[in-house]
Amino acid sequence: MYDFTEEKLQLLKDANEKMGICEDQTIEKNKNIIFVYCPPKVGSTTLVTSFRLCALNKYSVFHIHDELMLKVLCGIENVSVNEIIKYNKYLRKNIYVIDVYRSPIEHKISVYFEKIASLHFNNTEENVNAYPIAKIINRFNMLFPFLSRSDYYREIFDIPFPETFDFENKYLCQDINGVKYIKLRLNDSNEWQSILNKIFQVNIKIVNDYETEKKPIKDIYKQFKEQYRIPSNLFYLIEQCNSLKYYYSHDEREKYLDGWRSKLGEYVEPFSQEQYFMYNQLSFENQHIGEVQRTHYIDTGCTCIGCKRKRQIILYKISRGETVDDVIDHNQANNEYNAILVQKNKQKMNQLLQAVSRINQLNNLKKKAKPGAILKGSFVKQIK
């Protein structure tokens, strides 16, 4: 089914080791692999964190956007993400691949703000947060046609694409050569819990993670969302968007478009393909802040005792309906756990010292008392 050369097999084996994908299938989580493989800013971090918090003992979860991410984070080259997926199926593991669709205008806005400081203005988020909103909007309109155009399920996974989306179940799930490919929609995120529980047979609680509203850029982001009016010619591109036509029903699509028709602005000429290419080239050359972030999850998946304890605390808060602001940082979690152990040991030592002190007091009383005094006194009382 998979025709790998010996050289490719060695590269894939090395890739698994660098990613931390364990081949010991006597442990359940090593047999069940979830690849959240999708474009950035579609709710994927929330999915990863939710799986790690609620099903870490059953599933290993890996979050990948592209081969650049593999190279920067793991030093993996000369293999594709699809090859890594197929290789792990070749090892007879249970493989799931998840992609997510997000409505196009919101996706473009989120993708733009993800790199607004590091790439588009080559500055810190704190400084960009103070920029004039007109400047932020103008740059966005120039870039609009080139932001977030990929549909991994249709274009990247290299699998048969269904004629229609399953609007009844609100997700796609295809078994292709033993690999289960799943497509979710972000607008159904309030139903992800029941959808994922149905597919994976585990009790998944959805925990929102890595939201732009919580970053240093949040003020200008909020201002943008309040003031942005989409130019009429750019809105026309959205009306013609094939992905929107496919993933939204007719009524869903009309409701979505009507929402933006009330926010139409005047015509704006965006970058041409040639201008965008030059813009991108100059931006990357000037860039001094790395794009691929090494950690931005509530839960990174560590299984040490300290992180497990922190995970249980977060799940308890979720079960009580509390807002979760905690992050499972390995060093911090272990410092907290060790501090608790020290406190418990102090309490045990104090209890032991108190017990020894009581024993010493009793012994001293016995030494001071006359022999038979206690017994004699009791006997006299009984006779009276």
Which pLDDT does position 318 carry in this prediction? 54
Residue 378 has pLDDT above 80, yes or no: no
% residues pLDDT > 70 (the chain): 83
DSSP 32-70: EEEEEE--SSSSHHHHHHHHHHHHTTT-EEEEE--HHHH
Which pLDDT does position 42 carry in this prediction? 94
Which residue type, as a one-letter code, is found at position 40? Answer: P
Residues 6+ apart with CB under 8 A from 315: 53, 54, 205
Kindly state the tokens that stand for 11.
């590269």
Confidence at 67, pLDDT banded by 50, 70, 90: very high
Q: Which of 150, 141, 63, 70 is nearest to 98 (CA)?
A: 63
Residue 178 has pLDDT above 50, yes or no: yes
Which pLDDT does position 358 carry in this prediction? 84
Residue 354 has pLDDT above 90, yes or no: no
Query: What pTM, to 2 d.p., does this model score?
Result: 0.78
Least confident of 122-131, 173-182, 189-198, 207-216: 207-216
Which pLDDT does position 293 carry in this prediction? 53
Compare 256 and 293 and report the one with higher pLDDT.
256
Least confident of 23-37, 64-78, 216-230, 335-349: 335-349
Q: What is the mean pLDDT of residues 37-42?
A: 94
Residue 291 has pLDDT above 60, yes or no: no
Q: What is the mean pLDDT of residues 33-56?
A: 92
Q: What is the mean pLDDT of residues 290-312?
A: 62
Which pLDDT does position 317 carry in this prediction? 60
Which pLDDT does position 212 carry in this prediction? 63
Which pLDDT does position 72 carry in this prediction? 84
Q: Which of 167, 142, 316 is nearest to 231 (CA)?
A: 142
Which pLDDT does position 179 carry in this prediction? 97
Least confident of 3-7, 172-176, 327-331: 327-331
Which pLDDT does position 314 carry in this prediction? 62
* Backbone dihedral region for residue 175 (phi beyond 0: left; psi -120 to 50: alpha; all else: beta): beta
Q: What is the mean pLDDT of residues 292-307?
A: 62
Q: What is the mean pLDDT of residues 358-364?
A: 82
% residues pLDDT > 90 (the chain): 61
Residue written as token pair 């290419």 = 277
Residue 238 has pLDDT above 80, yes or no: yes
Which pLDDT does position 379 carry in this prediction? 46
Q: What is the mean pLDDT of residues 233-257?
A: 97
